Amino acid sequence: MNHRGDAMSDKEEGPVPLLAARSLVKAYGRTPALRGASVALGAGEILAVTGASGSGKSTLLHLLSGIARPDEGAVTYDGQRLDRLPERRLTELRRTDFGVVFQFGQLIPELTAVDNVGLPLLLAGASRATARERAGEWLERFGVRGQEGLRPGELSGGQAQRVALARALVTGPRVVFADEPTGALDSLAGEQVMTALVHTAREAGTAVLLITHDAQVAAYADREVRLGDGLVLPAGVAA
Ligand SMILES: Nc1ncnc2c1ncn2[C@@H]1O[C@H](COP(=O)(O)OP(=O)(O)OP(=O)(O)O)[C@@H](O)[C@H]1O
Ligand SMILES: [Mg+2]
């Protein structure tokens, strides 16, 4: 039972979430992307976000991960207002606490797969040798061990997606945001990637916000929220 009067839990069940979005509104010019969406993610929870194309899923990820700021509403992470942090602190926090897999091209074209994965470690102060070694282990976990020396332009879409996932996880973040991480994979490779992602998240207590169109992928999550037209749909409503 919740105690009444707890500022963060008036409508929430259970403990205060690690990451919460309240009534987010975001428009791009005259196009509304989010129209008052609220979502909460608990520590170690795997949450799937589904919904039709254009419903606001990627926008939600950008706001929750501090990549963009909402026009209205609040994003709270670990007890602080993420949407109000100065840019410099936000960048630092993203580097230490978050791992992000974007929906579209994000690997650095000039770097090989292993150096793309090792980059966040180098930025955190690891030596080149340590970064390479740990990056290699992560590539192995995601089934792209033979491709360390290839540049993104030489990888298949599915291989690039797995390299991006390895890069998001390599620093041991508290929250991983993954936008369609299996979108370019066939169902077997998709299962392998999801198994590796879920296993890693469970082992390390990582919270995961997983955007997907695929019901089989969403089934790996603890819980699912569906967006429709910039709003979270009530459970049981068809998208
Ligand atoms: N940078 C942008 N500039 C202009 N409009 C944008 C931008 N990003 C998103 N939008 C618009 O905001 C709405 C929500 O887009 P968003 O990318 O969040 O949808 P999505 O649910 O991720 O879709 P998809 O499943 O196709 O990836 C869409 O109408 C889209 O056209
Ligand atoms: Mg999207």
Query: Does the pLDDT of residue 134 top 90, yes or no?
Result: yes
Give 116-119 contacts, CB < 8 A, sequence gap 24+: 116/152, 116/163, 116/164, 116/167, 117/163, 117/166, 117/167, 117/170, 118/170, 119/167
How large is the average pLDDT for residues 168-197? 90
> Can you name the residues that pair with 22 across neighbouring β-strands?
74
Average pLDDT over all residues of the chain: 90
- What pLDDT shows up at residue 3? 46
- For residue 58, how far is its CA from the centre of ligand 1 (angstroms)? 7
Task: Give just the sign of the alpha carbon dihedral 122, 177, 45, 169.
Answer: negative
Q: pLDDT band at 4, cuts 50/70/90?
A: very low
What ligand has the least distance to the C-alpha of 51?
1
Q: What is the pLDDT of residue 185?
A: 84
Query: pLDDT at position 115, please?
Result: 96
Residue 65, SS3 per DSSP: coil
Please, which pLDDT band fits residue 235 given cuts at 50, 70 and 90? confident
214 in contact with ligand 1, CB cutoff 6 A: no
Ligand 1: does its nearest atom lie under 6 Å from the Cβ of 50? Answer: no
User: Residue 140: beta bridge partners?
Assistant: none
Ligand nearest to the CA of 67: 1
Better-scored residue on pLDDT, 102 or 131: 131
Among the listed ranges 5-19, 68-82, 113-127, which one has the minimum average pLDDT value?
A: 5-19
**What mean pLDDT is predicted for residues 165-190?**
91
Global confidence as pTM = 0.89
Structure letter (DSSP) for residue 40? E
pLDDT the model gives residue 13: 54
| Token pair recorded at residue 18 | 């690690």
Ligand nearest the Cα of residue 60 is 1
pLDDT higher than threshold 60 for residue 5:
no
CA 153 to centroid of ligand 1, rounded, Å: 25
d(CA 141, CA 20): 30
Is the CB of residue 53 less than 8 Å from the CB of residue 44?
no
| Locus of tokens 């992307």 | 33
Is the C-beta atom of 212 inside 6 A of ligand 1? no
CB 22 within 8 A of CB 73: yes
- Of all protein residues, whose CA lies closest to atom 4 belonging to ligand 1? 28
190 CA → ligand 1 middle, Å: 24
Question: What does the block give as tokens for 173?
Answer: 């973040």
Look at residue 163 and tell me whether its pLDDT is greater than 60.
yes
Q: Give the residue, 10 or 96, on which the prediction is more confident.
A: 96
Q: What is the mean pLDDT of residues 172-193?
A: 90
Ligand 2 centre and the CA of 170: distance in Å? Answer: 23
